[in-house]
Amino acid sequence: MFSKEVEVVNQVGLYARPATHFVQKANEFKSGVWIEKEERRVNAKSLLGILSLGIGKGSVITIMAEGSDAQEAVMALTELVSSQD
């Protein structure tokens, strides 16, 4: 398993459109991908799961993946979350 902690810097956090983009990106990978916030872990390929975490700007989350492209998945999703878009 590969994981990385990241701070969400997007102005609106991971809600609605940013969360949708995150899920679409996560679904590009074969690996299982999860997001953890304050000891709650959800499937990163589930929009409802991500929205249930209430990830706002400044939240620190851990992105984890397990599988053949785990490191690539975590790095790509970390870059997405840490960008200002």
Q: Among 61, 58, 73, which residue's Cα sits nearest to residue 26?
A: 73
The fold adopted by the segment(s) 2-81 is Histidine-containing Protein; Chain: A; (3.30.1340)
Output the six-digit token pair for 14: 């991971």
Can you tell me the distance from the alpha carbon of 85 to that of 36, in angstroms, rounded to the nearest whole number?
A: 21
Domains of the chain, residue spans: 2-81
Can you tell me the distance from the alpha carbon of 74 to that of 60, in angstroms, rounded to the nearest whole number?
A: 15
User: pLDDT tens digit string along 36-78?
Assistant: 999 999 999 999 999 999 999 999 999 999 999 999 999 999 9
In this predicted structure, what is the pLDDT of residue 85? 61
